[in-house]
Amino acid sequence: MRMKSTGLGGTELIGELISMKKEMDGILMTVKIRKPVVWTVRVLMQQDDIRKSALPGLKPSTIWYLIWGLISSLIIDKLPFKIPLLKKSEGDQHEKY
């Protein structure tokens, strides 16, 4: 998981989702930041936050992306050979998110 911090001068943080569970009046997500610092961040998504993130997630392009991600992590990564799925251009740094 990649995140940008506006409070750290635009520093990119690298982390991973550790847990996600129903707690209090929302969904509690725990994210472990590993780089450039080591932090544990807890985020409580309440109903309004869930609605704001779920509605865009119902677009066909987003659903296709999620399905493709699941398929590639479950099947393609386990193949004894590699399939070139996406050709990356020279200057492609994936900076926009």
Record the tokens describing residue 23, joined without a space. Answer: 């707690």
Domain extent, residue 42, equals: 2-78
pTM, whole model, 2 decimals? 0.60
Could you tell me if residue 84 is inside a domain?
Answer: no
CB 26 within 8 A of CB 47: yes
Asked whether residue 95 is domain-assigned, the answer is no
Number of domains in the chain: 1
Residue 96 lies in a domain: no
What's the start-to-end Cα distance of the chain, in Å?
Answer: 11
89 domain-assigned: no
Helix (H) / strand (E) containing 20: strand 11-23
Mean confidence (pLDDT) of the chain: 81
More confident residue, 11 or 19: 19
pLDDT tens digits for 53-92? 888 888 898 889 888 888 877 776 676 766 665 555 454 4
Is 9 contained in some domain?
yes
Question: Is the pLDDT score of 28 beyond 70?
Answer: yes
57 lies in some domain: yes
Q: For the chain, percent helix, then strand, then coil, each to nearest 5?
A: 30, 35, 35
Longest Cα–Cα distance in the chain: 47
Classify residue 8: in a domain, yes or no: yes
